[in-house]
Amino acid sequence: MHEYSIVSALYDRIVAEAGARQATAVHAVHVRIGAVSGVEPGLLQTAYTLFTPGTLCEHAPLCIEEVEARWACPACGGAPAKGARLVCPSCGAPVRLASGDEIDLVRIELEVP
Ligand SMILES: [Zn+2]
């Protein structure tokens, strides 16, 4: 399961962060998931729920912020309308993905004594 390996990688970063700050607990985990990142937020949430019992994140909810895909022209910066063909409305060049493919760990709320 793809989402499970993502949760596992996130957890490694959380543990490293918590260890660096000598945190005793994690209160919440905030991630940002792009619409075209290949990650299904619902599946990620499920994977997290299955992964965390008995871990430092056991009582920390996973807060997922979904980011819409945004496209931009590399030549002139033009952006196609939502749902339109992926070409620049000004110059006709193929547009590139500007955001929406991210899987970011945004913030971890830690209990630091
Ligand atoms: Zn253009």
Beta bridge partners of 108: 29
Structure pTM?
0.85
Measured CA angle at 85 (ends 80, 91), to 5 deg: 55
Tell me how far the alpha carbon of residue 85 lies from the centroid of ligand 1, in angstroms. Answer: 13
Pairing of strands 25-34, 103-111: antiparallel
Tell me how far the alpha carbon of residue 86 lies from the centroid of ligand 1, in angstroms. Answer: 11
- Delineate the domains of the chain, giving CATH numbers in brackets: 2-68+101-111 (3.30.2320.50)
Tell me how far the alpha carbon of residue 51 lies from the centroid of ligand 1, in angstroms. Answer: 45
Would you give per-residue pLDDT tens digits along the chain (113 residues)?
Answer: 599 999 999 999 999 999 999 999 999 999 999 999 999 999 999 999 999 999 999 999 999 999 999 999 999 999 999 889 999 999 999 999 999 999 999 999 999 98
Beta bridge partners of 31: 64, 105
